[in-house]
Structure 1
Amino acid sequence: MATLANQRPPRLLFLITVDWFFTSHFLARALAARRAGYEVLVMTHLEGERARLHAAGLVPIHWQVRRRGLNPLTELRSLWQLVRVYRRQRPDLVHQIALKPIVYGTLAARFAGVRHLVNAPVGMGFVFTSTSPLARTLRPLLGLALRLLLNPAGSRVVFENADDRALALAAGMVREPAAVLIRGAGVDVHHIRPVAEPPGIPRVVLVARMLWDKGVGEFVAAARILQERGVRARCLLIGGLDPDNRACIEPTRLKAWQAEGIIDWLGHREDVAELIAGSHIVALPSYREGLPKALLEGLAAGRSIVTTDVPGCREAVIAGETGLLVPARDPKALADALACLLENPQLRQRFGAAGRRLAEQAFATEQVEQTTLALYDALLGARAPGGAQGGSYTQGSS
């Protein structure tokens, strides 16, 4: 672990816009850092997770920020708050997650004299997935900001999939020695264990926030096609609304689909692992991802996967071995792939067994934690575990 000149524990600050995403995807890494001797602070818009962060021994700091905020005065206040917190807390290392924290946090770090940054673009967000006029307008502006701010001196950039890493390198957003591949949040393969498929009508689950760019509309259309063909299946949507996201689906639309008898929408659930264990296929027809946690949980549970051949999603699947890949925005291709697995339990089970092996070999949480801690230590000048120092860290392979 890194040792600083004044011998105090190194101070690590996570910056992220929403607290629930931190606890879902980064809490395990924060706890690993705390066990390794780091003092860990989490600056985020605190809603329902403050008590959980406190109980975990982390220091929560409320950030007045909105993901979709565009008002210049409000955004300047969010940026100025960052500058003040960075100056007051004097973190030795800041891990900035998603695009707004990266842009604002890197600017704040310059003003506050913070030298070491880990910038994690994750899934690239609404601006890079949507075809709306607003997204097309913002895309070149955000691209310029990332070229200027994504990879300053003293920083590393963590990508969750090889496609995003290659794209950023080609666009000149990041220097190759600083481009790090850590494949997603990982999955706890000790907690999530493979179980036999349940009897009865096969279940297909989509686990995600109810957003258009998660492919929810295509999933519903594919479910309708299966119904018209007489293919027996129960199609479940598992996930809550995200009204602060511009791609959020209206709850009236979700309820109408359910009333039509096409899908069952279960809303936000805490028992996702159990619901996946009670399924036969995990589907995610997303337009783009970092590396979706739901697919990793499906692999760990020994379930076959159907997902889109796009960055992030394809990273979680070996096509024809652990699942099937289909084109994005193509309900018929999605329905065809689902029908193939629904009607062939032996193929599903073969894919599921191979997927479990892949989860153990490439996506176990311990690998993500170890690689992340090695990166932190290298940035702070200490020799990382296993002898790694600086440069590029790659976890696993496709």
Structure 2
Amino acid sequence: MKIIVLSSHTQSLFWFRMDMMKSFMEAGHTVIAIGSEPMKEWAFKFQEQGIKYRQIPVQRNGINPLKDIKTMNVIKKIFKEEKPDKVFAYQAKSIIYGSIAAKQSNITEFYPLIAGLGSIFRGTGLKNKLIKIVMENQYRVACHFSKKVFFQNNDDKNEFIKNKLVAESKTTIINGSGVNLDRFQPVEQPKLATFLFIGRLIKDKGIIEYLEACKRIKQQYPQVRCLLLGPFDTNPSALKPEELQPYIDSNIIEYFGEQKDVRPYLVMSSTFVLPSYHEGTPKTILEAMAMERSIITTDAPGCRETVEDGVNGYLVKVGDVHSLVQVMEKTILNRELSLNMGKFSLKLAREKYDVNLVNQSIIKTMQL
């Protein structure tokens, strides 16, 4: 069969979905990847993996209906040319406009992945409320046109069911995107307590809480290292470079920008910290777990599934810098605790989040 994997973010396709696409090919199918980045930059990279790549125009954070209609029409054009048997889509605009394009192209097997509900679903304010109403209706249509809908946590699934966006019979849960245990392997923790945050520098990821917690920690324990990886973003809640610079200048944060390979930085760390407000299932946490790191994250949708509190890490309340500092301090003062938590992280990664197990679940649901 011919399968299209559709996303509005090409880098995510290449780095986070390659294992899944390869599993489709190993099952004997042809895969076409569709993303937003230029053909000249990405076509050859995908071709090297045996995958055809095609580009669509997407304004990821925009709300211009004319540009969204253009996105949908280009997707529909590609569907008509490629004639896929099945489509797997993730990220809001890919799901919404891909589902309509699939319906208009007589594609009956459309499988969206709801990989976390963004700030629109959790936020407040009149503008946010109006956009949420529009998005709920769009998701309702998308789910209606879908054969099955994947979710990465029960919170998001139940939110969709409660608001009558999807029939429960259409839903299925997968354990995140999974982690490649051959690529991410356990490595001894450094002797010096070192914290690491990886993610887009947007407020919903808990970047402000991480920076403030690191500031307090460094005042008490100046030898401790606090590392930061991730790009600045176009999201309305994005951190600005001038907001981060004072933390760099005062040696609170060691900032490494965006990195294609995060493994060297996980090697440098002892504890991975992600104080996010909401996630699907954070792939960065799974990668840290596979490399035997203790985890500090929030008791929030998508995050809480990755941590058994006090076993492989700690769960803290969203937005609570004081609690974050307290548990960071515990891992500084008790290095043996952090080491043991890392071992439990690895065990959980192997038993629950192995990418091969996740991909087999997807293949089974899509009847591949």
Coarse TM-score class (shorter-chain normalised): over 0.9
Matches within 5 A, 1:1-398: 10-47=1-38, 48-131=41-124, 134-152=127-145, 155-199=147-191, 201-230=192-221, 232-243=223-234, 245-377=235-367
Where 2:183 maps in the other structure, the secondary structure is coil
The alpha-carbon deviation at position 133 of structure 1 amounts to: 5.1
Question: Equivalents in 1 of 2:126, 2:245: separation in Å?
Answer: 28
Under a length normalisation based on structure 1, what TM-score does the superposition of the two structures give? 0.88
Where 2:22 maps in the other structure, the secondary structure is helix
Cα distance change on mapping 1:371 and 1:162 into 2, 3 Å: same
Where 2:366 maps in the other structure, the secondary structure is helix
Question: Equivalents in 1 of 2:123, 2:253: separation in Å?
Answer: 25
Could you tell me whether the CA contact under 8 Å between 2:193 and 2:335 is conserved in 1?
no
| Residue identity opposite 1:298 in structure 2 | A
Question: Equivalents in 1 of 2:259, 2:306: separation in Å?
Answer: 23
The alpha-carbon deviation at position 282 of structure 1 amounts to: 0.3
Question: Equivalents in 1 of 2:280, 2:57: separation in Å?
Answer: 25
The alpha-carbon deviation at position 265 of structure 1 amounts to: 1.0
Question: Equivalents in 1 of 2:44, 2:126: separation in Å?
Answer: 39
After the TM superposition, which of the residue ranges 80-89 and 105-114 deviates more from structure 2?
A: 80-89
| Residue identity opposite 1:21 in structure 2 | S
Question: Equivalents in 1 of 2:261, 2:76: separation in Å?
Answer: 39
Question: Equivalents in 1 of 2:189, 2:103: separation in Å?
Answer: 53
Under a length normalisation based on structure 2, what TM-score does the superposition of the two structures give? 0.95
Residues 133-180 of structure 1: per-residue CA shift (max 9 Å, x gap)? 54333112211222232243x511001112212222222222222211
Question: Equivalents in 2 of 1:196, 1:55: separation in Å?
Answer: 33
Residues 270-317 of structure 1: per-residue CA shift (max 9 Å, x gap)? 331121122110000001101111110111111110000001111111
The alpha-carbon deviation at position 340 of structure 1 amounts to: 1.1
Residues 8-64 of structure 1: per-residue CA shift (max 9 Å, x gap)? xx1101111010011122111011101211111111112443321111111111101
Cα distance change on mapping 1:151 and 1:347 into 2, 3 Å: farther
After the TM superposition, which of the residue ranges 29-38 and 125-134 deviates more from structure 2?
A: 125-134
| Residue identity opposite 2:324 in structure 1 | L
Where 1:155 maps in the other structure, the secondary structure is coil
Question: Equivalents in 2 of 1:15, 1:71: separation in Å?
Answer: 21
Cα distance change on mapping 1:50 and 1:304 into 2, 3 Å: same
The alpha-carbon deviation at position 115 of structure 1 amounts to: 0.7
Could you tell me whether the CA contact under 8 Å between 1:127 and 1:139 is conserved in 2?
yes
Question: Equivalents in 1 of 2:345, 2:249: separation in Å?
Answer: 34
Size of the alignment, in residue pairs? Answer: 366
Where 1:104 maps in the other structure, the secondary structure is helix
The alpha-carbon deviation at position 266 of structure 1 amounts to: 0.8
The CA RMSD over aligned residues, in Å, is: 1.6
After the TM superposition, which of the residue ranges 190-199 and 12-21 deviates more from structure 2?
A: 190-199
Could you tell me whether the CA contact under 8 Å between 1:254 and 1:265 is conserved in 2?
no
After the TM superposition, which of the residue ranges 295-304 and 251-260 deviates more from structure 2?
A: 251-260
Q: Look up the match of 1:391.
A: none
Cα distance change on mapping 1:271 and 1:18 into 2, 3 Å: closer
Could you tell me whether the CA contact under 8 Å between 2:59 and 2:67 is conserved in 1?
no
| Residue identity opposite 1:100 in structure 2 | K
| Residue identity opposite 2:32 in structure 1 | L
The alpha-carbon deviation at position 231 of structure 1 amounts to: 6.4
Give the percent of matched residue pairs that are identical in Structure 1 and Structure 2.
Answer: 26
| Residue identity opposite 1:252 in structure 2 | E
Structure 1 unpaired stretches of 5+: 1-9, 378-383, 385-398
Could you tell me whether the CA contact under 8 Å between 1:123 and 1:289 is conserved in 2?
yes
Question: Equivalents in 2 of 1:231, 1:205: separation in Å?
Answer: 16
Question: Equivalents in 1 of 2:339, 2:55: separation in Å?
Answer: 46
| Residue identity opposite 1:206 in structure 2 | F
Residues 233-267 of structure 1: per-residue CA shift (max 9 Å, x gap)? 21111112223x33321122222220122211111
Q: Look up the match of 1:388.
A: none
Structure 2 unpaired stretches of 5+: none
Cα distance change on mapping 1:49 and 1:211 into 2, 3 Å: farther
Cα distance change on mapping 1:313 and 1:37 into 2, 3 Å: same
Where 1:306 maps in the other structure, the secondary structure is strand
The alpha-carbon deviation at position 121 of structure 1 amounts to: 1.6
